[in-house]
Amino acid sequence: MALPLQAPGLVAGVDEAGRGPLAGPVVAAAVILDPRRRIRGIKDSKQLEAEEREELAIKIRGAALSWSVAWADVEEIDCHNILQATHLAMRRALIGLHIHPGHVQVDGNLCPSFIGLPMKCSYEAIVDGDALKTCIGAASILAKVARDRMMVELDALYPEYGFAAHKGYSTPQHYKALKRHGPTPIHRRSFEPVRLAGERRLTLADMGEMAPEAAVVAL
């Protein structure tokens, strides 16, 4: 395996998608853009329509000097918490770059721990970085597009939840499905709405195993 190239003059942008949803992984991307190949239209992925994100993602993957997408799954989110899982996904995305940058710009107010990463570079957290820095905006687009595709695939496994439409976020449709069907294996049980839905469903299931008169008393 070839060792990553060292490029001290280049900057990598890092961002995530999916910190807020009740279901699915949190996805991060790292991007090193080519200064000689400008891509018009890059900005915070939340400010773009889905079709625009898809088109820009193709351009970014084709023109970037290096890019990488990684994620932390639901088990890791529930085990560590969403912040630590997000940072884990960011670390994995950086490890996936085949070029080691001299500087890393991360969206937000806190950088993940870079202890043990196989690269020597400086790091910077930038609030609203996906709107202020093109490289972070590019990372936000790749992360969002990748996660949306994952949720569309998961929709085929759990069609009653509507993941293809809301991507796991808190919507009336999602809450209604949670209340009716309970959490799936891809729901974040450490998130309170999911936990409460699971507890309510378990309670009703337990009551169903009681003698009829006991169930009436319990209700």
* pLDDT tens, position by position, 81-129: 999 999 999 999 999 999 999 999 999 999 999 888 888 899 999 999 9
pLDDT 10s digits, 20-55: 999 999 999 999 999 999 999 998 898 999 999 999
Residue 108 shares a structural domain with residue 15: yes
Quickly state the pLDDT bin for 1 (edges 50, 70, 90): low
Say yes or no to pLDDT of 218 above 60. no
Amino acid at 10: L
Q: Which long-range contacts (CB under 8 A, 24 or more apart) does 173-177 make?
A: 174/22, 174/23
Q: Binding-site residues for a divalent metal cation, please?
A: 15-16, 107
**Per-residue tokens: 117:** 């990463």
pLDDT 10s digits, 165-211: 999 999 999 999 999 999 999 999 999 999 999 988 766 554 344 34
pTM > 0.85: yes or no = yes
**CATH number of the domain where residue 54 is located:** 3.30.420.10
Residue 97 shares a structural domain with residue 150: yes
Would you state the pLDDT for residue 208? 44
* Domain end marker among 106, 129, 157: 157
Residue 97 shares a structural domain with residue 168: no
Q: Binding-site residues, please?
A: 15-16, 107
Higher pLDDT, 174 or 2: 174
Residue 100 shares a structural domain with residue 144: yes
Residue 18 shares a structural domain with residue 81: yes
* Domain end marker among 157, 172, 193: 157
Give the three-class secondary structure for 183. Answer: coil
Residue 34 shares a structural domain with residue 80: yes
Quick count: other Cβ atoms within 10 Å of Cβ 96? Answer: 16
CA 100 vs. chain centroid, Å, equals 23
